[in-house]
């Protein structure tokens, strides 16, 4: 496979051209190749194809483009990712990658042959003929690298005395790149040495004219000096080039990734042509800031021929930061200024520094800057100079600079870097390699140290390194005097004491992400003070802020903070965690309506927050709990490790239960309560155990695991009776009544609900009216069910519980339509009100029910296409909740609508799915209903199977006293009449 982008786009397989003709396909492929190895988002690709105004169908059209490309390319060439698409050519498959590799080798070894091989890969402008803004923008970097390679090759050939052989190629290059002064100077030197001084001077006049016309600038000093030497008539040839100062450290040969950052930096430097450019690269310790700066210096160094300077400002070293006067002493010395000429005072040194830079086109790398103040006097002020600044702190005090904050490497970039350091073993064990870079958190320094360990241990497998990294990778990421922990320590130790304390205590936070309220609860500090300290930690890249007011620590920084926190006295650790868990508990409780808050406090005791100010700071408790939901299990696990905090293991999931349950986070409820039960087995708290059993039962109930739900509730009820807790006992009994209702034990459920209603205990959110109404509805006693639903609606309107109001409105509308009190239009309006309430509350189960009933009503009103869409949406929502009973029931309704639309085959398939789900639920009513529905649909197609199913349904429904039995008996009667007719038809045929 060969991809060629250095010229017109071309793809060949085994030497045969692959035709990529559609213009959009060519743009997409060019973008993927120009960003090879990186995931390109749909937005980026759409912008490249359509510009600023993509059509509404852009995503679908791009999927079509990618599908066509995949048919032309190897099956696995283009990889889909949740963020977009990625194409990663193999070694030697992409000419641009080969060009970069050859140029790096040519620069390192000063080898003109390698330059020549690299230049021979070019067949024209990058992606020539593809006139899309995104493609042209990305191609600029490659075209600039082409110019730099040309200049590097020509310089070596001139030094070797091959001037005469260069004239033709340099003339063509100057025509193609008419503003490149270095190319023009090289052509002038070649012409002069070949005995053509007039032509050399003519080239000078040409570029001077072009520069003045295009940029309003005169040629640089080097070109002017070259012209002056030629005008002087020196017959021995042009003057030697001015001495070139090269003080940059060696760059790495395995630089990987960062294509987007490099592109932005190069573009910013290009945009700053004609004025001093300052680019600032900041990032956490070990993120590769200096490596990136040196890489950019290597790419663009030829544009700054006079001097490449370097000074380490020691902003994050064990030493004190270098003061500006000392930094100028280093820089002026690199320029060749004798020590005796360097003034003693800062002001005079600054003047001399700026005077010297004004005469040069210089690149200066200021590494490890401590602050903006340290740089104020050092940055170049003369046009034609470039300053690259690196530092761990965001330098917010510098104006007119181009800032870049480095993130960690992507997974693909990280694994590529590891392979470049450690070799082919990484590709041979891709899963182990991926685990290494995951434990390194994509941090370049960590990956380099891990890779070095592999490289120096040829007998190790990558899996051996994974085992060595263990649960905490930080201690293993060290080599000689370099370590990730050491790099972090330098950043940490330079913090002021308050920020150090906050960072250390964040090491106790069990969750990956947190907000300022969490940090305030953990540290005991006022919220405004914590917000300021978090901002400080973000500025020095010890804390990330991935979205506004949401914070996190890089995995390795989290390990480092945890190691610091482990040195705290045990009492201090427990108190910090107590503050955090108390805040989470009270915040979760605050999401409950008053009647449910009373039930929470009945179970956990009266809640008095340690930090009322933090509760008051939350504008929307439910929205915040929704953000915290992924982390609640981590808090429970942390509480389980400290005996003094064991109560939070069951109190926190109890307080958050209603929010989690209504939004379908059943696995979270299950996991946290099981963890709590493990802790309670040690403590022996019977009341708490009963509470946990009750809420474990709710998960099994929602998942249609009714036997397990009943078993847990019966254990809970035994404990409640032992403790003589009548209010909590009544709640457990009504929950058991709900289980009986959904299990088809309707009479038993009614008796239990009526018994609870007679107990005359505080309700605390119990809902006997709903249980009674649902049982009467299942039995077909619709007037009685409607009466109880209306009573429940009055009760819920007083409580103002939106999910229960919605559920009641829905049932009232459905029953009134069924008994003929309202028509389809009125019922639809009422159901839509219920639907809106469930959506606002985030109640997935209720939303699925409302959409299902609305679809049935729409079908009854003849709006079949809308009804089918509604059924599909309802089934999709129900699929997120794993309730077999609900999914079976919704599919039965969908099948009925498909029958109305004439899709008999589709209806049978839907009824078949419903029956399988009903069998899985092991609940008699859904099984019987699904059998009846499927049997009805098979009467004309397979009468024998229809009879078998209908007879099974009749037996099940008769045992339940279900009203659907009457319809099944009618269907069986139709089958009987059909059997008689078929028998007669067969007899007549035989007689004939």
Nearest alpha-carbon partner for 862 in 827, 814, 894, 824: 824
Among 483, 507, 538, which residue terminates a domain? 483
Q: Within this chain, do residues 14 and 128 fall inside the same structural domain, yes or no?
A: yes
The CATH number of whichever domain residue 537 belongs to comes to: 1.10.10.10
Specify burial of residue 736 (Cβ count, 10 A radius: 0-12, 13-18, 19+).
buried
Evaluate whether residue 166 is within a structural domain: no
What's the first-to-final CA gap in the chain, in angstroms? 74
3-state secondary structure 620-651: CHHHHHHHHHHHHHHHHHHHHCCHHHCCHHHH
> By residue range, what is the domain housing residue 440?
411-483
Q: What tokens does 741 get? A: 């209702």
Among 483, 518, 534, which residue terminates a domain? 483
Q: Within this chain, do residues 73 and 104 fall inside the same structural domain, yes or no?
A: yes
Evaluate whether residue 743 is within a structural domain: no
Angle at 804 between CA 735 and CA 854, to 5 degrees: 115
Distance CA 682, CA 640 (A): 11
What's the pLDDT score for residue 978? 63
Q: Within this chain, do residues 465 and 525 fall inside the same structural domain, yes or no?
A: no
Evaluate whether residue 883 is within a structural domain: no
- The pLDDT tens digits for 241-288 are 445 788 888 887 788 888 899 999 998 988 887 788 999 999 999 999
Evaluate whether residue 53 is within a structural domain: yes
Count of C-beta atoms within a 10 Å radius of residue 309: 26
- State the residue for tokens 């042959």: 113
Q: Within this chain, do residues 278 and 366 fall inside the same structural domain, yes or no?
A: yes
The backbone region for 314, taken as left when phi is positive above 0, alpha when psi lies in -120 to 50, beta otherwise, is left
Name every residue whose Cβ is closer than 8 Å to that of residue 971 and which is 6 or more positions away in sequence.
Answer: 932, 935, 936, 939, 946, 950
Q: Within this chain, do residues 464 and 555 fall inside the same structural domain, yes or no?
A: no
Q: Within this chain, do residues 476 and 501 fall inside the same structural domain, yes or no?
A: no
Please list, residue by residue across 124-139, b when 16 or more beta carbons sit within 10 angstroms of its beta carbon and e when fewer do.
ebbbeebebebbbebb
Q: Within this chain, do residues 9 and 139 fall inside the same structural domain, yes or no?
A: yes
Q: Is the Cα dihedral 680, 681, 687, 689 positive or negative?
A: positive
Strands 544-547 and 550-552: antiparallel
Q: What is the dihedral of CA 478, 483, 486, 492, to 10 degrees?
A: -120
- The pLDDT tens digits for 866-882 are 999 999 999 999 888 87
Q: Within this chain, do residues 455 and 554 fall inside the same structural domain, yes or no?
A: no
Among 126, 160, 194, which residue terminates a domain? 160
Evaluate whether residue 252 is within a structural domain: yes
Distance CA 438, CA 596 (A): 43
Its pTM stands at: 0.68
What's the pLDDT score for residue 721? 95
What's the pLDDT score for residue 979? 59
- All residue ranges of the chain with pLDDT < 70 are 52, 215-217, 233-243, 317-319, 480, 760, 762-766, 978-992
Q: Within this chain, do residues 511 and 479 fall inside the same structural domain, yes or no?
A: no
What's the pLDDT score for residue 242? 45
Q: What tokens does 141 get? A: 């970097």
Angle at 395 between CA 394 and CA 399, to 5 degrees: 135
Distance CA 492, CA 540 (A): 9
- State the residue for tokens 């639907």: 835
Evaluate whether residue 959 is within a structural domain: yes
Q: Within this chain, do residues 463 and 510 fall inside the same structural domain, yes or no?
A: no
Evaluate whether residue 896 is within a structural domain: no
Structural domains of the chain, count: 5
Strands 40-41 and 10-13: unpaired
Evaluate whether residue 201 is within a structural domain: no
Q: Within this chain, do residues 389 and 519 fall inside the same structural domain, yes or no?
A: no
Q: Within this chain, do residues 512 and 462 fall inside the same structural domain, yes or no?
A: no
What's the pLDDT score for residue 318? 59
* φ, ψ of residue 119 in degrees (nearest 5): -65, -30
Q: What percent of the chain has pLDDT over 90?
A: 52
């Amino acid at each position: 496979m060969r991809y060629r982008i250095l010229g017109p786009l071309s793809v060949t397989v085994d030497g045969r051209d692959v035709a990529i003709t559609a213009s959009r396909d060519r743009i997409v492929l060019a973008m993927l190749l120009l960003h090879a190895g990186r995931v390109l988002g749909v937005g980026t690709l759409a912008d490249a194809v359509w510009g600023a105004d993509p059509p509404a169908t852009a995503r679908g059209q791009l999927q079509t483009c990618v599908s066509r490309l995949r048919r032309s390319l190897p099956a696995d060439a283009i990889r889909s990712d949740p963020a977009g698409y990625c194409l990663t050519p193999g070694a030697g498959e992409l000419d641009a990658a080969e060009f970069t590799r050859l140029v790096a080798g040519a620069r390192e070894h000063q080898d003109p042959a390698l330059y020549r091989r690299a230049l021979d890969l070019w067949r024209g402008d990058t992606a020539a003929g593809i006139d899309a803004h995104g493609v042209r923008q990305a191609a600029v970097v490659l075209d600039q690298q082409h110019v730099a390679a040309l200049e590097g090759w020509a310089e070596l050939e001139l030094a070797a005395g091959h001037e005469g052989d260069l004239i033709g190629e340099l003339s063509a290059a100057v025509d193609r790149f008419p503003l490149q002064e270095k190319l023009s100077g090289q052509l002038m030197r070649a012409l002069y040495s070949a005995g053509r001084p007039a032509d050399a001077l003519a080239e000078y006049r040409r570029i001077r004219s072009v520069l003045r016309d295009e940029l309003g600038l005169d040629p640089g000093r080097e070109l002017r000096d070259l012209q002056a030497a030629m005008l002087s008539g020196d017959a021995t040839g042009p003057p030697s080039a001015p001495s070139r100062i090269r003080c940059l450290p060696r760059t790495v040969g395995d630089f990987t990734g960062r294509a987007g950052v490099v592109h932005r930096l190069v573009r910013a430097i290009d945009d700053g042509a004609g004025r001093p450019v300052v680019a600032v690269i900041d990032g956490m310790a070990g993120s590769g800031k200096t490596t990136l700066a040196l890489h950019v210096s290597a790419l663009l160094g030829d544009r700054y021929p006079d001097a490449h300077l370097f000074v380490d400002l020691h902003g994050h070293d064990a030493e004190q930061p270098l003061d500006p006067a000392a930094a100028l002493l280093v820089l002026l010395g690199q320029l060749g200024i004798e020590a005796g000429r360097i003034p003693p005072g800062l002001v005079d040194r600054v003047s001399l520094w700026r005077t010297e830079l004004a005469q040069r086109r210089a690149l200066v790398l200021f590494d490890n800057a401590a602050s903006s103040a340290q740089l104020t006097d050092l940055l170049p002020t003369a046009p034609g100079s470039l300053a690259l600044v690196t530092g761990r702190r965001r330098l917010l005090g510098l104006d007119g600079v181009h800032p870049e904050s480095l993130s960690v490497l992507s997974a693909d970039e990280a694994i590529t870097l590891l392979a470049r350091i450690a070799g082919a073993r990484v590709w041979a064990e891709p899963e182990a390699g991926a685990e290494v870079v995951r434990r390194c958190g994509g941090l370049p320094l960590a990956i380099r140290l891990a890779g070095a360990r592999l490289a120096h241990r040829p007998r190790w497998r990558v899996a051996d390194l994974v085992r060595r990294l263990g649960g905490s990778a930080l201690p293993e990421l060290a080599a000689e005097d370099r370590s990730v922990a050491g790099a972090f320590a330098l950043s940490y130790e330079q913090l002021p004491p308050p920020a150090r304390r906050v960072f250390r205590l964040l090491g106790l936070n069990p969750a990956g992400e947190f907000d300022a309220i969490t940090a305030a609860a953990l540290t005991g500090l006022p919220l405004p003070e914590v917000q300021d300290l978090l901002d400080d930690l973000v500025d020095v890249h010890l804390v990330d802020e991935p979205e506004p007011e949401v914070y996190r620590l890089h995995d390795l920084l989290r390990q480092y903070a945890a190691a610091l926190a482990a040195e705290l006295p045990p009492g201090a650790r427990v108190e910090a965690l107590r503050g955090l868990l108390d805040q989470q508990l009270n915040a979760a409780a605050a999401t409950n309506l008053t009647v449910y808050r009373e039930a929470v406090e009945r179970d956990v005791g009266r809640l008095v927050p340690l930090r009322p100010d933090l509760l008051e700071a939350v504008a929307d408790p439910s929205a915040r709990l929704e953000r915290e939901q992924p982390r609640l299990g981590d808090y429970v696990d942390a509480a389980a490790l400290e005996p003094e905090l064991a109560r939070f293991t069951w109190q926190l999931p109890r307080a958050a239960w209603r929010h989690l349950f209504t939004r379908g986070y059943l696995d979270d409820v299950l996991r946290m309560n099981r963890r709590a039960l493990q802790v309670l087995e040690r403590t022996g708290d019977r009341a708490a155990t009963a509470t946990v059993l009750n809420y474990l039962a709710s998960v099994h109930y929602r998942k249609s695991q009714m036997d397990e739900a009943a078993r847990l509730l019966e254990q809970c009820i035994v404990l409640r009776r032992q403790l003589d807790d009548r209010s909590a006992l009544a709640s457990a009994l009504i929950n058991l009544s709900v289980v009986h209702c959904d299990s088809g034990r309707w009479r038993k459920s009614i008796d239990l609900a009526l018994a609870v209603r007679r107990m005359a205990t505080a309700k605390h959110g119990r809902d006997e009216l709903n249980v009674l109404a649902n049982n009467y509805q299942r039995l077909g006693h619709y007037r009685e069910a409607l009466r109880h639903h209306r009573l429940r609606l009055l009760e819920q309107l007083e409580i103002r519980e939106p999910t229960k109001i919605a559920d009641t409105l829905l049932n009232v509308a459905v029953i009134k339509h069924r008994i003929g009190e309202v028509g389809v239009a009125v019922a639809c309006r009422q159901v839509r009100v219920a639907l809106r309430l469930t959506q606002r509350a985030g109640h997935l189960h209720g939303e699925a029910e409302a959409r299902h009933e609305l679809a049935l009503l729409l079908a009854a009103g003849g709006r079949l296409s809308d009804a089918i869409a509604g059924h599909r949406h309802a089934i999709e929502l129900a699929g997120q909740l794993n309730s077999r009973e609900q999914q079976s029931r919704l599919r039965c309704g969908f099948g009925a609508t498909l029958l109305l639309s004439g899709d008999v085959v589709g209806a049978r398939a839907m009824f078949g799915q419903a029956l399988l789900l009903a069998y899985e639920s092991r609940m008699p009513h859904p099984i019987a209903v699904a059998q009846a529905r499927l049997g009805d649909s098979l009467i004309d197609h397979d009468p024998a199977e229809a009879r078998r199913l209908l007879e099974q349904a009749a037996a099940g429904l008769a045992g339940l006293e279900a009203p659907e039995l009457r319809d099944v008996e009618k269907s069986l009667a139709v089958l009987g009449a059909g059997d008689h007719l078929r028998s007669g038809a067969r007899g007549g045929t035989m007689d004939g």
